[in-house]
A and B are shown apart, each in its own frame.
Chain A
Amino acid sequence: MAKALKIDLEKCVGCRTCEMVCSAKHAGIINPFQSRIKVIREQEWEGVPMTCAQCEDPQCGAVCPVKAISRDEVLGRVVIDYDRCIGCRMCVTACPFGLMNFDSVAKRVTKCDLCDGDPECAKFCFYKTLTYVDVSELGDGKRRTAAELLSRLVRKTA
């Protein structure tokens, strides 16, 4: 079963370590601008890591005029074939979450590739906001927390 990057938003401290690690790994330089993952901070004390959702039916792939974007079912990810890519940035426009990036330094579109099955960001993430889990387990933690809450409420009112 393929694995996925799980993001527990409530655990994020907004330290942006993931951005630095990601750029080090992919661009060979510590430069958050070139990171595939971005931490959005709406409030100064919040962090929301945003990275490719690895869609089952990716819009980026659908609009690609040269069919450079496809799904890799083994690793459960959406991949770019740079031999085909012409750099038209249609995928950047199409992605509903803004998670396809255009790296103006490398002059090409970039996205999370799950580090070929060993994501660096998850290894560094201090408080386990980012974990690499089996794709079927993505909802497990939340489901359990919700169940506990529900159970407490039911018992309170019973």
Chain B
Amino acid sequence: MPGWSGKILRVDLTKGEFSTVPTAPYQSFIGGRGINVKILYDEVGPEVAPFDRENRLLFGPGVLTGTLTPTASRTTVTTLCPNGIIGSSALGEYIGAEIRHAGYDNIIVQGKSDKPVYLYVHDDVVEFRDAAKVWGSGTVETPRLIRKEIGDPDIQVVCIGPAGENLVSFACVRTGIQSASGRGGMGAVMGSKNLKAIAVRGKRGIEIARLEEFLKVAGETSQALLKHPALQIPVTKMSSLATDLNDSPNKRGVAVFGNWEEVDWDEIDAKNYVLGGREYYEKYYLARVGCAGCPISRCYRICDDPEAGIGAAKCYSQPMFTFRVWNRDWQVMEAAGHYCNTYGLDILSTANIIAFLMELYHRGIITEKDTDGIAMKRGDKEAIIATIHKLAFQEGYGKLFRDGVLAGARLIGRGAEEFAMAVKGQELGLHEFRGRRGTALAQAAATKLGGGEYPHGESVWSIGSKSKEAVYPPSYEGKAEMVWEGVNTYKITDMLGLCKNYFAWAPDRSLEYPVRLFSLATGVDTSIEDMLTSAQRVQTLERAFDVMRGIRRQDDTLPKRMFDTVVPGGPFKGEKIEKVKFDKLLDEYYEVAGWDEDGVPRKETFAKYGLESEWETFEKRLKVNKG
């Protein structure tokens, strides 16, 4: 079974045992997220609660992760997340390659340890090691401590920080300094299992079916990516900011000020909002770094912050810890990002909660008495940093938000719920989308929590869409088809282990090269169409999993503010989402996806993707739920 490793590792933390499962029966789900989802669907019924022993935590590097496929460094982490539906989010760096090189396609973690442990997987051996010495450590420190303890500097690690240990519903799983499986609260599930980290060292490698041709095509793919104008500056020569934070989000109209609040962009000087970036870089910038086998190799900037210490940040912390929390100081933004990463908190959810508290304070709904004496003034440094600490360590008012902004709002009462910007209980993502119907639809109807399936601006993720009308962000026309195609295209990256950034850099923005490399690696000739069908198969199961958990049409919606208020600035100023048109869009989307008017996948849809036995399970479980 070249391309694949051929086996899946199963670890039972309750029993302290491990075994392997053959990959072959899961082949129609390709790999990575696909196999994760199939296993979760089979093994986690609706009676299982997120922190139960019976919940599964799945790590799925893709079929191409750790091969020479450019950008293929990713590992998708999937679980029944704390908010009660499927959670799936991918991380990069070197861990995925190491898991594959150790000879595993996926890792299933089940059960719960009595005391904190970490796993050390080296080829055929899994050691259950006492984590007492690393429990409580930050995510930058943990891999370093583990490498030292085991005595092998080449070990790769995924771990949680204090936030995961404290079961914060938006805690992430991290590779250390660099990458995070950020959205969905996988860190909390890992914490609930008393699992601090998984350390991996692999010496088995990956067999490639048609090696010579594979090497040739992988080389061509890299060279094509490397022609991108932005990659002409060598990474090590990048000493200044890659993009202008003030310019780009404002011009594209994706910036969100405060808690999606109404604000005059001219009055707040949106174009020059964040100050001190260049000066900060001159003083504290160390390097840019990327992931295994990636020609882009520059997505993380490492800075030695005078306050929060060494850390890496990607693009997300920039708008989230500036515009969103009314902060104009670059240093505060970097420090906030580093703290979140060290503690293992999702930056998007954390900044959303701070923005929410700031709005409540601004409106006089809460006072400093509600927040341990800290005034939640817009843009206030203490308010930002203190909230991050309180959330991670679950102290004081941080405890209100263990289960997210919506749960926190309900605990506060006083009408605060109206200001909780969440979909299906999880905080909204990065971009302003009231003028972008595709993003809006993707956010509302996403199968996994995490703010839609789209990591990029609407123009980038409309890859493959043939309709010009559909590509225009405020249009409602052709959006359902475009989102469906986009969702499945991006799912393929998670199944193969490619980075979603592949599409931002690849000149043809197509799946041609990745699918060819998949065929050459596995020896299974596969077309783009075949691959899309596999992605749709996975998508159907993801939705079915959520439906079994009670998700229906009424949950596929957005916070009220999205329908009641308009975009306050930028190119789509004045746009808002029309409820009637949005409902029609949802109808169209369900139709394309093969779901009924309530958002439930039809029996024919299961059959179309060869999911007959999954349908039987589905029917049975739904009946149990009703009874």
A31 adjacent to B178 (CB under 8 Å): no
B101 on the interface (CB 8 Å rule)?
Answer: yes
B289 adjacent to A14 (CB under 8 Å): yes
Contact size range, A: 20 to 34
A33 adjacent to B101 (CB under 8 Å): yes
Number of CB contacts from chain A to chain B under 8 A: 99
Within residues 125 to 166 of chain B, which ones have a CB less than 8 A from any CB in chain A?
153
Nearest chain A residue, comparing its CB with the CB of B73 = A15
CB distance from A150 to the nearest CB of B (A): 21
B207 adjacent to A15 (CB under 8 Å): no
Q: Given B67, B177, B290, which contacts A15 in the complex, CB threshold below 8 Å?
A: B290
Q: Contact flags (1/0) for A102-133 with B, using CB distance below 8 Å?
A: 00110000000000000010011011000000
Q: Contact flags (1/0) for A37-68 with B, using CB distance below 8 Å?
A: 00011101110000000000000000000000
A30 on the interface (CB 8 Å rule)?
Answer: yes
Q: Given B97, B177, B219, B292, which contacts A44 in the complex, CB threshold below 8 Å?
A: B177
A23 on the interface (CB 8 Å rule)?
Answer: yes
B253 on the interface (CB 8 Å rule)?
Answer: no
The dominant DSSP class at the B interface is loop
In the bound complex, how far is the Cα of B208 from the Cα of A24, in angstroms?
9
Contacts of A14 in B (CB 8 A): 289
A23 adjacent to B205 (CB under 8 Å): yes
Contact size range, B: 35 or more
A17 adjacent to B289 (CB under 8 Å): no
CB distance from B56 to the nearest CB of A (A): 28
In the bound complex, how far is the Cα of B29 from the Cα of A29, in angstroms?
24
B386 on the interface (CB 8 Å rule)?
Answer: no
B215 adjacent to A24 (CB under 8 Å): yes
B302 on the interface (CB 8 Å rule)?
Answer: yes
CB distance from B552 to the nearest CB of A (A): 44
B41 on the interface (CB 8 Å rule)?
Answer: no
A34 on the interface (CB 8 Å rule)?
Answer: yes
B302 adjacent to A15 (CB under 8 Å): no
B211 adjacent to A24 (CB under 8 Å): yes
* Best-buried of A13, A16, A24, A30 by chain B (most CB within 10 Å): A30
Contacts of B293 in A (CB 8 A): 15-17, 20
CB distance from B209 to the nearest CB of A (A): 12
In the bound complex, how far is the Cα of B215 from the Cα of A15, in angstroms?
17
In the bound complex, how far is the Cα of B144 from the Cα of A42, in angstroms?
11
Q: Given A16, A40, A124, which contacts B292 in the complex, CB threshold below 8 Å?
A: A16
Nearest chain A residue, comparing its CB with the CB of B94 = A16
In the bound complex, how far is the Cα of B312 from the Cα of A46, in angstroms?
13
Contacts of A33 in B (CB 8 A): 101, 202-205
Beyond A29-B207, A33-B202, A126-B295, list 4 extra A-B contacts (CB 8 Å). Answer: A13-B235, A30-B207, A44-B178, A123-B219
What are the 4 closest A-B residue pairs judged by CB atoms, nearest first? A31-B205, A33-B203, A13-B297, A45-B287
**Chain B interfacial positions (CB closer than 8 Å to A):** 66-68, 94, 97, 101, 153, 176-178, 202-208, 211, 215, 219, 222, 226, 234-236, 286-295, 297-298, 302, 312
**Chain A interfacial positions (CB closer than 8 Å to B):** 10-17, 20-21, 23-25, 27-34, 40-42, 44-46, 104-105, 120, 123-124, 126-127
